[in-house]
Amino acid sequence: MIKVIIAGFRGAMGQQALQMIKEQDNLEVVAVYSPSANAENAQAAGVEADTQVFNQLEDIKVEADVWLDFTTPAAVFENTKFAIEHGYQPVIGTTGLTDQQEEELMNLASDKKVGGLIVPNFSLSAVLLMKFSEEAAQYFSDVEVIEMHHEDKKDAPSGTALMTAKRIDKVRKAHEQGDSKETMPGVRGADLNGIRIHAVRLPGYVAHEQVLFGGEGEALTIRQDSFNRSSFMKGVKLAIEKVHTVDKLTIGLEQVM
């Protein structure tokens, strides 16, 4: 039995994860954490009566294997640090960690000999989009990334768009694309070594990404769509089950696929 703590259990992703784990024979939620949690709202959120409920990070003292985090960009660094320091293997779904924070957490995990996963996207289609984009960038070096999310998403660009751009950047020679002068600031999007990243926020959307490659008289578009949050749960389950196989804090679901 793999014992899991869910941080952010009252949120949209936390709720899906809680339900998914309750349906598995090999996984158990032993504790939940959220600053606004109490016994009543935890029960209303579907938490079992024998699961411990915490609203202060420092109060969490429970025997568990995995720390599953679906919180906020402002909370995820401290949460992950806490998990590593207490020997819980982190599976981090929350996006928004900076490069510097990731590096700090990786160093801490290595000191404490704790393996973990930072997963910018748990959907299989997004993992494949990144893989195919990396491959296409070897042939098409002119590329722009457009990500589209629901209007409540707190950070931009999405972790997946950023990771896609970073992976493309590793295989193509950095260069500017187009020489349009912006007559409206920001209209060309963010710039990662010449790769433009655009973020769309609209009601009705969940999580979607397009990678557009342009070449001599041709173009290639790679697109993935997550139409609902349950599409992430196969990946969440896999990450929880397989995180024990990684011996350092590492990035991407593909590490355990």
With CA atoms as reference, report the closest residue to 7 among 87, 89, 77, 70: 70
From the list 80-88, 93-101, 190-198, 237-245, the region that binds ligand NAP by CB under 6 A is: 93-101
Assess whether 149 carries a catalytic annotation: yes
Q: Is 71 in the site for ligand NAP (CB under 6 A)?
A: yes
**Residues forming beta bridges with residue 54, ordered by sequence position:** 33
Beta-carbon neighbour count of residue 247 at 10 Å?
Answer: 12
- Whether 33 contacts 5, CB under 8 Å: yes
34 touching ligand NAP, by CB under 6 A: yes
Options 3, 86, 131, 149, the catalytic residue: 149
Please state, as a whole number, how many other Cβ atoms lie within 10 Å of the Cβ of residue 91: 29
80 forms part of the interface with ligand NAP (CB under 6 A) = no
Of 106 and 220, the one with the shorter C-beta distance to ligand NAP is 106
Beta bridge partners of 249: 116
Tell me, what DSSP letter sits at residue 58? G
Q: How many CA within 13 A on the CB side of residue 230?
A: 2
According to the binding rule CB under 6 A, does residue 125 interact with ligand NAP? Answer: no
Site string for ligand NAP, 195-234 (x = CB under 6 A): ------------x------------------------x--
Binding site annotation covers 164?
no
| Residue indicated by tokens 């993992």 | 127
Angle separating helix axes 124-136 and 159-171, nearest 10 degrees: 30
Please report whether residue 93 would count as binding ligand NAP according to CB under 6 A. yes
33 vs 213, beta carbon nearer ligand NAP:
33
For the bound state, the minimum distance from the C-beta of residue 149 to ligand NAP, rounded and expressed in Å, comes to 8
DSSP-H helix ranges across 45-98: 76-85
**Side-chain half-sphere CA neighbours of 196 within 13 A:** 17
Q: How far is the CB of 224 from ligand NAP (least distance, A)?
A: 12
Of 3, 22, 86, 153, catalytic: 153
**198 a catalytic residue:** no
Residue length of the chain: 257
9 in a known ligand binding site: yes
Enzyme catalytic residues? 149, 153
Residues near ligand NAP (CB under 6 A) are 7-8, 10-14, 33-36, 70-73, 75, 79, 93-96, 119-122, 153, 207, 232
**Residues tagged in the binding site annotation for (S)-2,3,4,5-tetrahydrodipicolinate:** 150, 159-160
